[in-house]
């Protein structure tokens, strides 16, 4: 089983949107996927509870970060996607366990200046964990100058995923429906999350 840990320093990251859409993209690609929600807010758990009965199966567990005392090892999965709360540094022990269990750390970043500053501040911590890190520009507006600038800035911080996720209302709508956009026909971000999964799968040697 491979594990992807989704982290970001700034609230509203978009960590949960990335975790659930990636999980769905991998499940649609045929993997046995599970999600682990370590955030007390439980957004991912709510989303999972909304999944329609005929949607592709995703296993799910809600275990608070504070309660993580060993690496998660769920049975019968090919991929585990872990969603985290914002202030992971509040629980250094559990956070270290999750990092150690991760085959890849995925950090979504929005192109706004506050997010870039927050990501920059988090980088020393991320690098110190010595796990492969991929940065994902998300909630972008392609035509804005800030997007071009952010691509350059984030590209200097580390390895950028070759996919950028645009800011589109289909993403929050899919939250309420308990879906990922990769399983909704005609979405624009669906194919992008599939491409993101294909890229990460190759990076992890799946
Ligand atoms: N590509 C997108 N386009 C439009 N809205 C988005 C997109 N990605 C995420 N959002 C929305 O942005 C908000 C924050 O996203 P999300 O909940 O994923 O962030 P988060 O990092 O998990 O936040 P928290 O720190 O509170 O857990 C949500 O309303 C979500 O639906
Ligand atoms: Mg969240």
pLDDT tens, residue by residue, 96-141: 999 999 999 999 999 999 999 999 999 999 999 999 999 999 999 9
Q: What is the CATH number of the domain that holds 109?
A: 3.40.50.300
Regarding beta strands 2-6 and 79-83, do their DSSP bridges make them parallel or antiparallel, or are they unpaired? parallel
- Residue 107 forms part of a structural domain: yes
- Looking at residue 127, what is its pLDDT? 93
Q: What is the Å distance from ligand 1's center to 83 Cα? A: 12
- Looking at residue 12, what is its pLDDT? 77
- Looking at residue 9, what is its pLDDT? 80
Has residue 11 got a pLDDT over 80?
no
Range of the domain at 23: 2-201
Q: What is the Å distance from ligand 1's center to 73 Cα? A: 27
Q: What is the pTM of this model?
A: 0.98
For 79-105, what is each residue's pLDDT tens digit? 999 999 998 989 999 999 999 999 999
| Number of domains, the chain | 1
- Residue 53 forms part of a structural domain: yes
- Looking at residue 82, what is its pLDDT? 98
Q: Mean pLDDT throughout 8-22?
A: 91
124 to 19, 119, 129: CA distances (angstroms): 23, 10, 9
Atom of ligand 1 nearest to the CA of 169: 4
């Amino acid at each position: 089983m491979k594990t992807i840990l989704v982290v970001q320093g700034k609230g509203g990251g978009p960590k949960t949107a990335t975790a659930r859409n990636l999980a769905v993209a991998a499940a649609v690609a045929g993997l046995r996927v599970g999600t682990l929600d370590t955030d007390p807010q439980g957004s991912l758990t709510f989303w999972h509870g909304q999944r329609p009965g005929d949607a592709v199966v995703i296993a799910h567990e809600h275990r608070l970060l504070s309660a993580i005392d060993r690496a998660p090892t769920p049975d019968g999965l090919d991929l585990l996607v872990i969603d985290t709360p914002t202030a992971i540094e509040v629980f250094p022990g559990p956070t270290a366990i999750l990092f150690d269990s991760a085959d890849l750390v995925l950090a979504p970043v929005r192109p706004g200046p506050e997010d870039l500053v927050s990501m920059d501040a988090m980088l020393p911590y991320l690098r110190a964990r010595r796990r492969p890190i991929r940065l994902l520009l998300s909630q972008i507006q392609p035509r804005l100058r800030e997007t071009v600038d952010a691509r350059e800035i984030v590209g200097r911080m580390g390895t950028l995923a070759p996919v950028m996720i645009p800011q589109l209302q289909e993403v929050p709508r899919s939250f309420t429906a308990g879906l990922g956009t990769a399983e909704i026909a005609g979405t624009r971000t669906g194919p992008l999350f599939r491409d993101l999964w294909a890229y990460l799968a190759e990076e992890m040697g799946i």
